[in-house]
Amino acid sequence: MDSFTRMEQSTRSEAQRPRSTPTPTDHAGDGPQAQRPREPTEQTARDEPAQPGEEQPHACAPPHRHTSLKKLTLDGGAPNAPGRATKAFKLPEFPPPLAYHYVQSYYTELIGLLGKAIASAPAENSALLARYYYLRGLMNTASGRRLDALGDFQNLYKTDMDIFPGELARALAESLPREERALAERRPELRRLISRVTDEQGGAERAGRDDGVKKFQLPRTHMQADDFIRRVQESGIVRDVGTIGRLFEALTVGQQKQVDPEVFRVFYTFWKETEAEAQDVHLPASVIEHLDTHECVYKLSCSVKTSHGVGKIAMTQKRLFLLTEGRPGYVEITKFRDIEEVKISSTSFLLLRIPSLKIKSSLRKELFEANLKSECDLWNLMIKEMWAGRKMADDHKDPQYMQMALTNVLLMDAVVGCLQSQKAIFAASKLGYFDRMKLEVPMMVPKTTSETLKHKINPSLDQTSPQAVDVLLYTPGQLSVSDADGDGNPKLWCALSDGKVVVFDAASWSMQQNCVQVGSSRLNCMMGLDLHQVWIGSQDSVIYIINARSMSCNKQLTEHRNEVTAFALEERSDKYNAIQAYSCSADGTVIIWDVSTLEVRKQFRLTCDRLQSIQLFNGTLWCCARDCIMELRKNGVLHRRVSIPEHVQSKPTAFSSFTLLTERDQLWTGCADVGELCVWHTRDLTKPFQRIPLQDCTGVTCMIRVKNQIWVGCRGWSQGKARGKIYVVDAERHIVEKELVAHTDCVQALCSAENRYVLSGSACDDGKIAIWKVE
């Protein structure tokens, strides 16, 4: 059983597993969800080898830290704790008289020694080089060599940005006299550094004015919609803008569209009290053993008479059950996915008609009936919303729908408790999002899509609204990695808007890293290197390098002058050759990097309209621009050029993606506003020899090869609505095997997980990642 199947079973299984204690989850967020506690991880320190002839290594063993609270022992010892070799740099003798020329001579001697140390340090030991550059930068600053100091600090971008002295570099840049500023402007790397540190200063000042730490306070004035959204987000109740908008409609039913501060205070108080009550629900062990792990009771009714006896109806995120009175016992009513009908009726008692709720389950012949009296309408709303959310979650294989439904139900409860009027139930019905969707616009998932889709995940869980998934990268796991060395599971890297990177554990699909921030611009491309590094190309023209173990970004490459759009990695012919990476930017620049030293090996520029992707095939570089696809020789000279096919030149369009099938001598291309693929012979690139139509497709956005298939991400139509679609094309027969209705917005990114699964990411109206099985 593979990890994807295990994940799906753990998400969807209804097997009853005993649990020791009930732990109600905190539901004051985007959606209540039971989260497994994360074990603290330990970042391992790399040994830094000593320089020959300069020092003797000293064993300096740090105190041992347990990587898991579950593994704590009473001995407190640290057997086999690895020692970390330290590096000592010997300073020259300081001159006794503190005369100016003696001090300057000392600085000069020290700068020379640091230069020799830098020259002799191994290029792969970037941490050691960073310390040398930092020290030499300080010495150059002290001796008044401003440009040399800025040059040393600029080298920290490639070695270790964590120790970059931003304030000092900014002060040096601002203190440059006119002559030195002119010299700095002639050196591209210094010009970029000066521009960057001054821009960061302005951004920090704006952030200080706008993003101060805010402590939530109850409002004192009436709130319009925008102010209400801000207040609810600050309160921590919920962050999703759409949900807050529906809450605003509920609290303003039948009145002017503004929320009274007293109504908000009562609502907020009721919400917090309900949250505390849910956390105080203590179930006997005989009841707990019927619930799944992390299943919690979120709502209890008053004691009522039911068709199964007298007791309290309990609602969890998965089911309804009766907590019987007297000796507390468990009687299951139904799981939400098994409900067939929910309705309100009435029963006679003496001369009165008492409202009752009836629930029909697919697993029972008899109806469950409960005389819920005044609570009947609210429970009817809540159960229907949970039922609709469960159905949506099952149909779309997206567990977040269930979490959202539970949030809606808890908000309904708080609204009814807050308003305490005849309109309370009508107001609460405004929050029945999934029940309304089921009635108004039933979304049928095509059979082929349902059979191919494994799971969906949401990288925007902690965002106020869905974010576009701009880039996806899958990095394989390492079976040899121990817990002490770091997580060896495969990872899924997801680039969202404004420089955000979210990382998922691809074995469980749990969010491993909430957000790694790399700059503040859109991210265009990602590339994994040696399982230890991830390179990220940004619209701000910087390549950010993330340490895959520590999840920190402490290196940057700043040689590009325009937004970085793509990467390619050259396969090493033998172990003695250095690994080379290619990067390109929109202005047509291609840079070849030595991966070990991060030095530029070669650089050239192509003449084209927005260079947007590059790929290496058998040592040949292929480049895709909007107006052409180019094949380059190894020296960067243009060999062949493919123009947009004549039959689509009648309307404005551009190449959007391509792939090469070298064993078949075929080039496959797609255009941004054309619903077809073109297949070309690499021996004759004058025109395509075959066109493959993609039904209901309005444009190709991306494509990848997986085994003997081409997976094509598109904008398209389904059931009369715009959708993100994926077409699976047989590479031999040139026919569409599958048409998958993937997302509610266009597909923007595709990546393969070891040729067994394909992952797709969509634009901001959807913002989800779908996981598809490959056949």
pLDDT digit string, tens, across residues 46-56 = 333 333 334 43
Structure tokens at 393: 């979650």
Q: Does 202 have pLDDT greater than 80?
A: no
Q: Does 464 have pLDDT greater than 80?
A: yes
- Whole-number Å distance between alpha carbons of 579 and 570: 7
Which of 144-158, 202-216, 549-563 has the lowest average pLDDT? 202-216
Residue 210 neighbours by CB distance under 10 Å: 7
Q: Which of 249, 210, 256 is nearest to 232 (CA)?
A: 249
Largest distance between two CA atoms of the chain: 110
Percent of the chain with pLDDT over 70: 84
Q: Does 205 have pLDDT greater than 70?
A: no
350 band by pLDDT with thresholds 50, 70 and 90: low
510 band by pLDDT with thresholds 50, 70 and 90: confident
Residue 575 neighbours by CB distance under 10 Å: 5
Structure tokens at 470: 């701009």
Q: Between the ranges 141-145, 169-173, 335-339, where is the mean pLDDT highest?
A: 335-339
pLDDT digits (tens, 9 = 90+) for 131-164: 999 999 999 999 999 999 999 998 888 888 888 8
What amino acid is encoded at 272 in this protein?
K
pLDDT digits (tens, 9 = 90+) for 257-277: 999 999 999 999 999 888 888
- Whole-number Å distance between alpha carbons of 603 and 557: 14
Name which residue leads in pLDDT, 209 or 422: 422
282 band by pLDDT with thresholds 50, 70 and 90: confident
281 band by pLDDT with thresholds 50, 70 and 90: confident
> What average pLDDT does range 407-433 have in this prediction?
93
Sign of CA dihedral 480, 483, 489, 494: negative
Residue 504 neighbours by CB distance under 10 Å: 22
Tell me the C-alpha to C-alpha distance, in Å, between residue 13 and each of 9, 395, 504, 611: 5, 15, 21, 47
User: How does DSSP classify residue 388?
Assistant: H
Which of 1-10, 404-413, 637-646 has the lowest average pLDDT? 1-10
Q: Which of 453, 441, 381, 369 is nearest to 410 (CA)?
A: 381
Q: Does 508 have pLDDT greater than 80?
A: yes
Q: Do 392 and 398 contact (CB within 8 A), yes or no?
A: yes
pLDDT digits (tens, 9 = 90+) for 475-501: 998 755 554 445 678 999 999 988 999
- Average pLDDT across the chain, whole number: 84
761 band by pLDDT with thresholds 50, 70 and 90: very high
> What average pLDDT does range 299-311 have in this prediction?
92
- Whole-number Å distance between alpha carbons of 146 and 181: 10
What amino acid is encoded at 404 in this protein?
M
**3-state SS class at 663:** helix
> What average pLDDT does range 608-631 have in this prediction?
94
Percent of the chain with pLDDT over 90: 55
Give residue 53's region: left, alpha or beta (phi > 0; psi -120 to 50).
left
Query: What pLDDT is recorded for position 71?
Result: 34
Q: Do 614 and 622 contact (CB within 8 A), yes or no?
A: yes
Structure tokens at 102: 């003696």
Residue 174 neighbours by CB distance under 10 Å: 12
420 band by pLDDT with thresholds 50, 70 and 90: confident
- Whole-number Å distance between alpha carbons of 695 and 674: 11
Q: Where are the beta strands (DSSP E) in 606-685?
A: 611-617, 620-625, 628-632, 638-643, 655-661, 666-671, 676-681
Query: What pLDDT is recorded for position 651?
Result: 80
Beta bridge partners of 715: 699, 724
- Whole-number Å distance between alpha carbons of 520 and 507: 29
CB proximity list for 609: less than 8 A, separation 6 or greater = 625, 626, 627, 628, 654
CB proximity list for 171: less than 8 A, separation 6 or greater = none
> What average pLDDT does range 223-240 have in this prediction?
93
575 band by pLDDT with thresholds 50, 70 and 90: low
Which of 16-25, 224-233, 394-403 has the lowest average pLDDT? 16-25
Q: What share of the chain is helix, strand, coil (3-state, %, to 5)?
A: 30, 30, 40
> What average pLDDT does range 162-184 have in this prediction?
89
Q: Do 238 and 232 contact (CB within 8 A), yes or no?
A: yes
The β-bridge relationship of strands 736-743 and 721-730 is antiparallel
Which of 5-19, 309-323, 637-651, 700-714 has the lowest average pLDDT? 5-19
Radius of gyration, alpha carbons of the chain: 31
Query: What pLDDT is recorded for position 89?
Result: 87
217 band by pLDDT with thresholds 50, 70 and 90: confident
Query: What pLDDT is recorded for position 487?
Result: 63
Which of 191-195, 219-223, 389-393 has the lowest average pLDDT? 191-195
Name which residue leads in pLDDT, 695 or 209: 695
Q: Between the ranges 67-71, 532-536, 568-572, 708-712, where is the mean pLDDT highest?
A: 708-712
Structure tokens at 626: 């909007």
CB proximity list for 427: less than 8 A, separation 6 or greater = 250, 251, 253, 415, 416, 419
7 band by pLDDT with thresholds 50, 70 and 90: very low
